[in-house]
Structure 1
Amino acid sequence: MKCIFLFMLLTMGSLASIAQRASIKGYVTDTVSGLKLRDAVVLLANSKDSMLVQFCRTDANGYFKMDRNLVPGQYIICVSLPSYVDYVELKELSGNVNSIDISLFPKSKLLKAVVVKGKVKAISLNGDTLEFKADAYHVGANASVDELFRQLPGFQVDRGGKISVNGQAVQKILVDGEEFFSDDPTLVSKTVRADMVDKVQVFDKKSEQAAFAGVQDGKTAKAINLKLKEDKKKGYFGKLIIGGGDRYYNGSGMFNRFKGPAKFSVYAIASNTGEGDISWKDREDFGVAKDLEYNTPLQTLDSWAGQYAGLGFPQLYTAGAHYNNKWNAFNQAIGGEARVAKLNLSENMTSTTISILPTQKLTTSGNEKNYHILLQQKYNGNYQVRLDSMTELKAKIGAAVGNKTGDRNIASVIRNEAGLSINELSQYTNTDERSNSWMGELIVNKRFRKAGRLLTLGLSGAYNTLNGNGTFITNNLAWDRENTDTSINLDTRQYKETASKQDKINLDVLYRFPISQTSALSLKYAMALGNMKSQLTTFNIASDGKNKSIDSIYSNNYLFRSVGNKAGIHYHFVKKQFQLEAGNDIGLTSFNQTDYFRYNLIKRNFVGWFPNIELKYSGKNGTRTASLSYLGNTILPSALQLQPLANNTDPNNIIIGNPQLGPSYSNTIKLLYINADFIARKTTWIDIGYNLITGDFTTADQIDSIGRKKYQFINGDYTTLWTGNATYSFPLAKSLTMGVSAGWNLRSSMNIVNNAKNRIRNGNYVAGLFFSESLPEKLNITLNVNPSYNYNSSSVAENSGADYWMLDTRLQATVYFPLKSELHTSCSLLLRQKTDEFTDNTNVVLWDIWINKRLLKSEALILKLSATDVLNQAKSVFRYINTNYISEYRYDVIKRYFQVGLTWNFSNFNNSAKP
């Protein structure tokens, strides 16, 4: 298959057709030992269209011969044998016997300079999967996969190790198609070594049911699959890292043992620099038909998500283990993970928010200090068995236990346009929450003897609990400047207890059957049942700090029940390079909310429509793909939008329920075009989307004379969103690649501000210029220049003064010196234009530099001297535009520090030790 792929890359030459016949014969030998090689595959292809003409294998003496109906002319000859470098040559065959002796070079002896020669076959396109040949990109010895990603066109890896491809965040990294510490892509990219990887495959991972049945459900996640080299699938590898300086430290250990399909890994990390942070996002891979459920999250007293996002000062201690294996001719498989982490996080944030009202502007200045502690354990396991050639069963189970505590101090001042204070707030909160989660899923996939006929059944369930308590002390002083100009004291001192439970069950059924040789129908049915019990008891604390009384306004006891049914039919058509899918689902959902505290009941019923159509074309040579799709989606309001739980933890932002809130409807059109010209090393990527939401959920805001906002969710008229990204990369020279890109994100929406309709238009235009130079063992350098323009307009205040330019420039370089030493530098320049509202200088230059000295003959031991944020300018500034509110947030972050570190890479593959 490897040789056939190479043939698709070579399109030069022409075939001069004459009546004479030709033959070719010769020997295949080992370049190093001179031994004749048996069982080598020798293929002959037409140079004009790369079509296979003949193939054979060498005999015991390394001899081969092909002479059947060969027309003299130009051919591509390819020779392949495991553990040897592929041989490819363009050869002119004359009208007689042509002799050729071929020497293959062992991969184990291959010089690094030879590896880089494969640039012509660096990128391929297989359907919707973009594939990069790892050996075509040069990285240092023992480099991790994230260093390889930095060399691949379209890939971005930020300072924290977060990975994106063409602007889309990578959510999963697979190893040989299997999940591997699945909810943390950065951990995988830092664990696996680049020299182990044969191919890097990028694709949109569908849900399991959609992948099995070939039905689009709109649920995809950007994923990367690392396909390992065959000789790296048996043995062990790992690394130990220690580093420290005056204030900061890093320490980690990773051990991985692969034996064919069996993989076992353990790791441990201790760090206060943010390196190796573990993302604790709960990616609910358990369950189907989630679009039938209401968004009824468990009621929490602390909104912190439980992770470090590069803001503040973290202390992380985490460890985990992973195992998966297949046996019985791959008919059975098992996998599981166990992870534990403790994260301490200290944050300091200042903010400025401009509220644009029909008659004035209000400015809110705030400061927030937080200290969080999270201790969490997560476990999951899965089992898969193929009962026979037609039936497979998959089972998953997962559990998580967590404890989250936090201290928060908030101070804010709201001023009117005259600069006078109208609201001053100081608040202290202390919270302690404990959570437990259990999840399970069972899927049965059944194929039938008639080709194309299949049945899939899915049953899943989840049970979650959350219990917490917290103390809230608020001092709030306000002045009614518009009326009496008198002060108003709104102090509160409360203790809150919350207890929530949630359970849900999902059933999903799909049956697919062919109606012709090129088309098929799929019938779908899904049911979802959900219950959530939420109780919040609020006590007012007396001035003596001891006596407590229940606050009936901010206490509640709710039971949410939802029942959803969804059915649909889908049509599939495949002929040659064309694919068509079209279908529609209809959903019926009922919702009951019982308020036991006030003894009332709210009932709602909704009907939803979910049509979709997609047309796709794939080029014959796998170099081009194009698709056009439409997806309709009924979006149901959440239970908390219909009837929120009364809460005064933010006294200046109060939500009011809207039992009459109806569903909104989303129309999404997407166009995707990818063209990879392998010979010319050119890649074109165009991705355009348009989204129209009618009846979109927005808010009706009422800001009173003392700056308090009361808001209610309503159905607006419409929201539109245009998105686009276009990238074109091409070579400027043998080792120099250039890329240009353009992107846009344009949004139009509306809300109500103090009874006035407000139409908001905001957007972002970005351009890009990319250069990459790679000189093996000499220099690697990449340069990204990305100017952008951000704009915002509001009909209640035409001149908002929120438009600004930005320039984001990033330079990364590695210079290789004699004596196994390297100099690395990374420099980011971020320039942000001042605005009428935000006049401070937010420009920043982030410069990191480190020197590596590789020790030992194997270069497995690395001494590292590093300086992070050399210019001591690190800062995090974010601007957000949301309806008629423009905000800027500034966070304290880790600044300049120096470290000395040692890294030991160890491995043993195929019993060949590499200490």
Structure 2
Amino acid sequence: MKILYSLAVIIALAFTIPFSANADPGRTVKGVVKDSTGYLVAGTSVKMLTGTDSTTVITGADGTFTFTNVAVNQFSLVFSSIGYQPLRRRFVLANDSKPADLPPVILKIETTMLKTVVIADVNPVKLKEDTIEFNADAYKVRDNAPVEDVIKKLPGMDVDKDGNITAQGKSVTKVRVNGKDFFGGDVKTATKNLPADIVQNIQIIDDYGDQANITGIKTGEPDKVLNITIKQNKNYGYFGQASVGGGHDAIPGVSSDKESNRYVASANVFSFNGDRQLAFLGNLNNTNTNLFTFGGGGPRGGGPGGPPGGNSSSSNGITTARSFGFNYRDSWGKKITAYGSYSFADNSVNTISSTIQNNLSSTNPSTNTQTNNQQDEKLNHRVNFNIEYKPDTVNYVKITPTYAYASTNTTSDATSLLLRNSETVSNYSLANLSKSTEPNYGVNVLFNHKLNSHGRNFSVNVGAGSYTINKYQNPVYTYIDGARNAPLNQFINTDSRTDSVGTTVSYLEPISKKGYLELNYAYHYAYTTADRATDTLADDGNINRYDLLSNNYNSTFVTNRFGLNYRFIDKKYNYTLGVVAQPTLLKGSSIVDGTPFTTNNNTFNWAPTARFIYNFSRSQSLSLNYNGSSNQPTYTELQPVTDFSNASYPVQGNPDLKPEFNNTLSLKYNKFNFESGNVFFSNLSFIKTDNKIVANTITYPRNYAPNSKLAGSILTQYLNADGYYSAQGFYVFAKPWQKRKYNLFMIGNISYNNNVSYISNVDSATYNMTTEKNIAKNLVLSQGARFRVSITDVIDAEASTTYSVNTSSNSIKQANVNSNFQTLNLGLNGKSYFKDWTLSYDYSKMIYYGYTGATNPNILNTYVERRFLKGNAGTLRFSVMDVFNENTGYTTTQNGSYITQTNSNRLGRYYLLTFTLKLQKFAGKRPTMERGGPGGPPPGGGPGGPPPF
């Protein structure tokens, strides 16, 4: 019987195998996933369940998914996507093998935080109208790493050695946590101190201001804002970290010309309890580590002979930093949210620099060689506070008082040698003492009222403030050779104050289902007083008033801006078209040595406004923006008195200046491929300025008008000129492999400036003046490539190279002046992990071309680290910074008046031993997400949607 049964099985198999070999392998099943607004949902995990088997695919950029070789006609599909409610649907197909196109699957947007969903891979990037959102879980870092380590891995993001961040080629000016300013928006406080493992998303936002976020009408140039959202299950708990360390400039066994002790002590504590968030930061060190970044007012950039603006690095000089701060956020009941911060810093900075400045001229070119040893004592206080009040669903009020105080005491010893046609024009040394205080305070109130449920809205924003500068200078000159133009010993007191008030009113009227009409009006009034008193020390020891260098000055700047905008909103695109009319009034008066000067300029500018957003999909977008805006002259540019605090480069204002008017056009294109993971970000911008405020440098001969204070000097005055324009471009392409374990980045920047200036020369025989217009075409170009390997707890390393060019061409030709500077930067940095040990290395090789006397430094910073204690709470680190002791900085500045190259000191070789203790505890409670609450949307409209008010 068993034999018969075996024969039957063999016969059955013999007939079955041929038929199975030729059987249809199964059908193809296709489908598409959308959300409730009609957008295609890319990056959705789709799992097919067939009995005990399952197969998972990810939707592509067009929201489609495909299963092949489906052998059954009944199955279930499970859909999972971050930000959407999970969905499970069962399908029964015809009993055949024909391909099947499933009906569209609609996912509902999740309004509360989902429980953990296990999917094949997280969606790393989301593109919205003004926001690029990165999922922090897609960019793995080691436990206890700071947020900064995640940001370094994000495509289009760059973090320099000082912690400054650029996004898509533009500087990030503000940081928020859960949509609210953190430490007043100070960039480094959050990125260097918050632990990465509590972060859900990192967003890069083009922010047009609170009022624009509410109304949805966005014009002007946005700020780059970085917003960090905290995971809901980390919103209850605390995190604390403290570090202490000491070291020395000299490495054991290696000689050092100058030795000094190095020390560091820091602490930070974060406490999260739902809506209530508290943070404390403190830092004490002499290792050039600044906890906060404080801005300042004053004129636009340094003048000729001063420190070159635009290229200076905060790492120049040696800094001793003492700082601490406190940040607070809480909900005062259900209707009020309050948040604010206090920041304090007391820094000492020693900077030693040497500068070669070539002053352009067709007939009298000159070269100025300068050295400077400067000690700055800087004290800063900053208070920011915000109160948001939402009494009901139709009203919203935000009150923001601010206060800042800065004081600086500076002592410097400098030398200056000015040569013209190989002849010494002036040669002197300068000892300078200066003290300044700058209190700055203001308040801003935003009120918004929703008039109906269809989008009719009224909002008003009112602000007022006062900015004061009280400055004392005592420059003392010792003339060695050449002209003696400035008084030997001056006592200069400058007191300036600007009081301003402004308001913006907006009314929004829906005129169709998708169209809105906005009327807006903006008024700004600024009144400035600037009193300058210069005394000199006479030979008999008496202090005398120098009337020619003293004056009392005041000016009033008033703008009225009228705007009409139409906004249309559709699923895939939206646009704003409008027109702006802006009359301005600039008037002022001054008396110098008994001579009155008056200013009374009325100008009228109008410009269209345009903004267009097209969302090809959730992973591809294009935006275009155009706007016009005016810019008032500074009081330094207006004040008709000569400033001789720099003997070779005096400065004199022009009371007849007109305000500038900027026309700005920008274009952005972003694309992310869900299937390959490729990222491409790009932006272009173009600025044309009417009535550009430019420099007119006047070169006076050494023998000019005996006893004249201008003899041998190069005087800077200011004029209005047309013809200025600039263009900037940026792109980044990122190619990942194996879930971003390997990444290739290609990054390019380009900027072109058509600078305008005037070069004047005074004839040494006749004293007649000739003036030429100089067009300086400046090109700055850089191209970089980076390859990154990131394997969690194994290695995180990056090799990079960047080639940069800074070159200019002047219509006024001048021989023997180099205007072509190039830099090649080769780098290798990373961390290798050996269980609880970490080896870190950061090497860069700078190769300079065109810089006089430049060296090509090799810079290597390295440390060895050991984690221990329960939960790796303790860390012991031994660091050696600038191993080869070659750290130095070379920069160049080029414009229509001069070309400079500067070499500044930087912190050199030292070693440091530090101990760090980290403690943290987070609860798993998930609070409900409310509008404006932690992790929820701000009290404004979502990108692309209709205004909420």
User: What's the TM-score bracket when you normalise by the shorter of the two chains?
Assistant: 0.7 to 0.9
Per-residue deviation, 1:438: 2.1
> What letter corresponds to residue 906 of structure 2 in structure 1?
V
Q: Which residue of 2 aligns with 1:40?
A: none
Residues 308 and 664 of structure 1, relative CA distance in 2, 3 Å threshold: closer
Match of 2:230 in 1: 228
Q: Deviation string for 1:177-208 (max 9, x for gaps)?
A: 11111242111111210000011111212211
* Secondary structure, aligned partner of 1:353: strand
Aligned to 1:904: 917
**Which residue is 1:316 aligned to?**
321
Distance 2:237 2:348 in 1: 36
2-structure distance, mates of 1:850, 1:604: 61
2: CA distance between counterparts of 1:804 and 1:421? Answer: 27
Q: Which moved more, 1:151-160 or 1:633-642?
A: 633-642
CA distance in 1 between partners of 2:619 and 2:777 (Å): 38
Deviation of residue 523 (structure 1)? Answer: 0.9
* Partner-residue secondary structure (3-state), 1:147: helix
1:669 corresponds to 2:665:
yes
- State the secondary structure of the residue aligned to 2:211: helix
Amino acid at match of 2:171: A
Give the Cα separation in 1 of the matches to 2:665 and 2:161.
34
Which residue of structure 1 aligns with residue 715 of structure 2?
A: 710
**Pick aligned residue for 1:863 from 856, 873, 876:** 876
What RMSD over aligned residues (CA atoms) do the two structures have, in Å? 3.7
Which position in structure 1 is the counterpart of 2:757? 751
Residue of structure 2 equivalent to 1:344? 348
Compare 459-468 and 132-141 and name the one that shifted more.
459-468
CA offset digits 1:746-788 (Å, max 9, x no partner): 2222322222222211202222212111222211112221112
Which segments of 5 or more consecutive residues in structure 1 lack a partner in the other structure? 16-22, 29-42, 54-70, 97-106, 284-293, 480-486
Q: Could you tell which deviates more after superposition, 452-461 or 721-730?
A: 721-730
For residue 276 of structure 1, the aligned residue among 279, 290, 297 is 290
Secondary structure at 2:489's aligned position in 1? strand
Residue 362 of structure 1: aligned partner: 366
- Residue 156 of structure 2 is aligned to residue 140 of structure 1: no
CA deviation after TM superposition for structure 1 residue 502, in Å? 2.7
Shift of 1:91: 11
* C-alpha spacing 1:841/1:640, structure 2 compared with 1 (3 Å): closer
The equivalent of 1:774 in structure 2 is: 790
Going from structure 1 to structure 2, the CA distance change for 1:312 and 1:705 (only over 3 Å counts) comes to: same
Q: Tell me which moved more, 391-400 or 604-613.
A: 604-613
Per-residue deviation at 1:7? 9.2
Given that residues 352 and 373 in structure 2 are in contact (C-alpha distance below 8 angstroms), is that contact kept between their aligned partners in structure 1?
yes
User: Where does 1:466-481 land on structure 2 (aligned, <5 Å)?
Assistant: 466-476=469-479, 479=482
1:617 aligns with 2:630: no
Q: Residues 307-456 of structure 1: matches in 2 within 5 Å? A: 309-329=314-334, 331-418=335-422, 420-456=423-459
Aligned to 2:537: 541
The size of the alignment, in residue pairs, is 828
Is 1:815–2:858 an aligned residue pair?
no
Look up the equivalent residue of 2:41 and give its one-letter code: M
Query: Structure 1 residues 468, 655: closer, same or farther in 2, change over 3 A?
Result: closer
Q: Which residue of structure 2 lines up, in the alignment, with residue 237 of structure 1?
A: 239
Once the two structures are TM-superposed, the CA of residue 676 in structure 1 deviates from its matched residue by 0.5
How far the C-alpha of 1:166 sits from its partner, in A, is 2.6
User: By how many angstroms is 1:494 displaced?
Assistant: 1.8
Change (3 A) 1:223 1:10: closer
Bigger drift between 865-874 and 779-788 goes to 779-788
TM-score by length of 1: 0.84
| Counterparts in 2 of 1:760 and 1:911: CA distance versus 1, 3 Å | closer
Instruction: State the structure with bigger RCO (CA 8 A, min sep 6), 1 or 2.
Output: 2
SS of the equivalent of 1:182 reads helix
1:720 aligns with 2:725: yes
Per the alignment, residue 291 of structure 1 pairs with none
Select which of 600, 603, 620 maps to 2:600: 603
Please give the alpha-carbon distance, in whole angstroms, between the structure 1 residues aligned to 2:398 and 2:784: 44
What is the alpha-carbon distance in structure 2 between the residues aligned to residue 652 and residue 295 of structure 1? Answer: 19
1:889 partner amino acid: T
Partner of 2:584: 589
> Which deviations, in whole Å up to 9, do the C-alpha atoms of 1:440-472 show, x marking residues without a partner?
111111111141111111221112333343322
CA shift, 1:605, in A, is 1.9
Per-residue CA deviations over 1:289-347 (Å, capped at 9, x if unaligned) read xxxxx9899x9xx9999x99111111111111111112534x31111212222111111
Q: Deviations over 1:488-539 (max 9, x none)?
A: 5654212223333332111221111111111111111122222222222221
CA distance in 2, matches of 1:552, 1:212: 53
Do the aligned partners of residues 660 and 375 (structure 1) sit closer, same or farther apart at CA in structure 2, a change above 3 Å counting? Answer: closer
- Native 8 Å contact 1:364 1:413 kept in 2: yes
Q: How many angstroms apart in 2 are the aligned matches of 1:52 and 1:383?
A: 47
Deviation of 1:792 (Å) = 1.4
Q: Which has the higher mean CA deviation after the structures are superposed, 756-765 or 547-556?
A: 756-765
Which ranges in structure 2 are unaligned for 5 or more consecutive residues? 1-32, 67-71, 96-112, 249-260, 703-711, 761-770, 926-949
**Counterpart mapping for 1:738-887 below 5 A:** 738-754=744-760, 755-797=771-813, 800-818=817-835, 820-833=836-849, 835=850, 838-887=851-900
Aligned to 1:216: 218
Aligned AA for 2:867? Answer: R
Segment drifting more, 660-669 vs 734-743: 660-669
1:678 paired to 2:674: yes
- SS of match in other structure, 1:151: coil
Q: CA deviation at 1:147?
A: 1.3
1:731 alignment partner, SS class = strand
Moved more, 445-454 or 121-130: 121-130
Q: 1:200-226 deviations in whole A, cap 9, x for unaligned?
A: 111212211111112223142111111
Measured in 2, the distance between the counterparts of 1:155 and 1:44 equals 30
For 1:695-754, what per-residue CA distance to the aligned partner results, in whole angstroms no more than 9, with x for missing partners?
432222211223411232223340232221122211355521212233321222232222
2:155–2:733 CA contact under 8 A, matched in 1: no
CA distance in 2, matches of 1:671, 1:79: 34
Is contact 1:3–1:78 with CA below 8 Å preserved after alignment?
Answer: no
Matched, 1:255 2:269: yes
Residue aligning to 1:575:
570
Question: What residue number does 1:893 align with?
Answer: 906
Following the alignment from structure 1 to structure 2, what is the Cα–Cα distance between the partners of residues 218 and 194? 33
The residue number in structure 2 matching 1:19 is none
**CA deviation after TM superposition for structure 1 residue 551, in Å:** 0.9
Contact preservation (8 Å) 1:120, 1:679:
no
In structure 2, relative to structure 1, the CA distance for the partners of 1:791 and 1:534 (3 Å cut) is: closer
**In the alignment, is residue 526 of structure 1 matched against residue 522 of structure 2?**
yes
**Could you tell me how far 1:868 is from its partner in structure 2?**
0.6
The 3 A distance-change label for structure 1 pair 692 and 566 is closer
Partners of 2:363 and 2:131 lie apart in 1 by 54
State the shift of 1:237 in Å. 0.7
